[in-house]
């Protein structure tokens, strides 16, 4: 049976949401992100891209390149709401789908062509999303995830494209090698130095040559350039979660100690989210008292993986749950409703310095271990002394957090 894999991507998602809220922003150059000079562009409208603006660049530079652009800080709760709306429509319409980020989806329509016609079915789904949410969305349909994703990129903005079976290589051949997923700036530069610019050049190269230059990634790029990809659609589930808890040797009412442990737990789980390229949309705190009565409270939040967003919300849940008259035996936290995704949705709340700090902290943890760098607020003096240190007996790096 031929595979039929659908890829759907909400066009300039944050920008589209803002335009739904305020119709005056239609067709105007728009930047969503940190509004100060030290902020970062989280999303930009197509009108700004001709000026060289792109997501991830400093807001100061973006405003210099496109001074007439309207700058909006953004609201993650609004974007999360619309993401849930689209997810619910897709969940009702297709048998198996994967939510690869807050604005990107895959669906396996294999076998449905016998009854409906997969292209017609995908078209009806796209039109329903547009009608019920007002959001523009594009799709690509082909035999696998990679070709469908590239096809979606070619279909944008707000359009659709089907690549018939057997035409994958001819579709990819004239495109820039940068259009192949996993070809970043560095890899592209290496390939350009070899005289490789178009996909058709890679298609004619022996796979051994690509492997000798780029290692395992070279083989992956060669397969993708030839339209070969057997990656399955991973069914989406709201139940996926990660959690941690701590049982005390002696029950305690030391609030400073409890808050410090919660902060350290949150940091560790947030790092696990970023390392796994995940975002959470639901957090929970659990408390078990000395009488073994256990209480928990959870709250839905905008998708995030950022410590400085998660920690205050965890502490607020703890404040609501905590009963000062009882000794605490156990505390725990859980992040659920996980979806694949990167840090982009938080960019409008951060500066370049904050993003660089997260990258540096995560690099240290990757190299020396999860507890090698911690916030000072997550530690007490006794805790520091007891911790395992990977730095040849030296204490871990401790960050004293200062509010911007």
Contact 143, 168 (CB under 8 A): yes
Contact 243, 273 (CB under 8 A): no
How far apart CA 300 and CA 161 sit, in angstroms, is: 35
3-state secondary structure of 388: coil
In this structure, the strands spanning 137-142 and 160-162 are parallel
Nearest in space to 339 (alpha carbons), one of 282, 270, 278 = 278
How far apart CA 311 and CA 148 sit, in angstroms, is: 38
Contact 162, 6 (CB under 8 A): no
Residues 6+ positions from 22 with CB-CB distance below 8 Å: none
- Cite the active site residues: 104
Nearest in space to 42 (alpha carbons), one of 380, 357, 259, 343 = 343
Residues 6+ positions from 171 with CB-CB distance below 8 Å: 147, 150, 151, 163, 227
Contact 162, 141 (CB under 8 A): yes
Nearest in space to 243 (alpha carbons), one of 261, 270, 278, 277 = 270
Residues 6+ positions from 212 with CB-CB distance below 8 Å: 218
User: 315 exposed, middle or buried (CB, 10 Å; 0-12, 13-18, 19+)?
Assistant: middle
Residue whose entry in the numeric block shows the structure tokens 């991507």 = 9
Cβ atoms < 10 Å from Cβ of 126: 19
The tokens for 240 are 């996926």
Positive or negative torsion for Cα 173, 179, 180, 185: positive
Contact 218, 226 (CB under 8 A): no
How far apart CA 330 and CA 246 sit, in angstroms, is: 6
């Amino acid at each position: 049976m031929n595979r039929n894999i659908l890829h759907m991507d909400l066009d300039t998602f944050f920008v589209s949401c803002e335009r739904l809220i305020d119709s005056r922003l239609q067709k105007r150059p728009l930047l969503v992100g940190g509004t100060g000079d030290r902020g970062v562009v989280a999303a930009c409208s197509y009108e700004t891209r001709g000026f060289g603006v792109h997501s991830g660049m400093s807001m100061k530079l973006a405003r210099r390149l496109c001074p007439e652009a309207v700058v909006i800080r953004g609201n993650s709760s609004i974007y999360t709401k619309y993401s849930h709306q689209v997810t619910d429509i897709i969940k009702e319409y297709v048998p198996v789908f994967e939510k690869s980020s807050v604005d990107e989806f895959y669906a396996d329509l294999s076998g449905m062509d016998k009854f409906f016609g997969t292209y017609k079915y995908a078209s009806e789904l796209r039109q329903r999303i547009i009608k019920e949410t007002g959001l523009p969305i594009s799709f690509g349909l082909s035999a696998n995830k990679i070709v469908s994703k590239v096809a979606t990129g070619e279909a944008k903005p707000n359009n659709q494209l089907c690549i018939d079976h057997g035409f994958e290589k001819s579709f990819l051949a004239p495109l820039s090698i940068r259009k192949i997923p996993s070809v970043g700036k560095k890899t592209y530069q290496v390939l350009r130095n070899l005289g490789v610019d178009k996909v058709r050049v890679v298609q004619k190269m022996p796979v051994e040559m690509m492997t000798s230059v780029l290692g395992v990634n070279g083989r992956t790029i060669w397969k993708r350039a030839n339209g070969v990809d057997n990656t399955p659609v991973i069914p989406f589930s709201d139940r996926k979660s990660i959690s941690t808890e701590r049982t005390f040797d002696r029950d305690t009412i030391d609030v400073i100690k409890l808050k410090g442990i919660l902060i350290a737990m949150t940091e560790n789980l947030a790092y696990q989210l970023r390392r796994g390229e995940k975002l959470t949309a639901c957090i929970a705190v659990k408390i078990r008292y000395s009488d073994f009565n256990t209480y928990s409270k959870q709250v839905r939040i905008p998708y995030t993986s950022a410590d400085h967003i998660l920690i205050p919300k965890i502490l607020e849940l703890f404040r609501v749950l905590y009963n000062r008259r009882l000794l605490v035996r156990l505390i725990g936290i859980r992040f659920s409703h996980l979806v694949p995704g990167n840090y982009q949705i938080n960019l409008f709340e951060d500066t370049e310095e904050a993003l660089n700090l997260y990258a540096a902290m995560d690099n240290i943890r990757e190299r020396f271990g999860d507890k090698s760098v911690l916030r000072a607020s997550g530690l007490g003096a006794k805790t520091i002394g007891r911790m395992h240190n990977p730095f040849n007996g030296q204490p871990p790096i401790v960050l004293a957090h200062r509010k911007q």
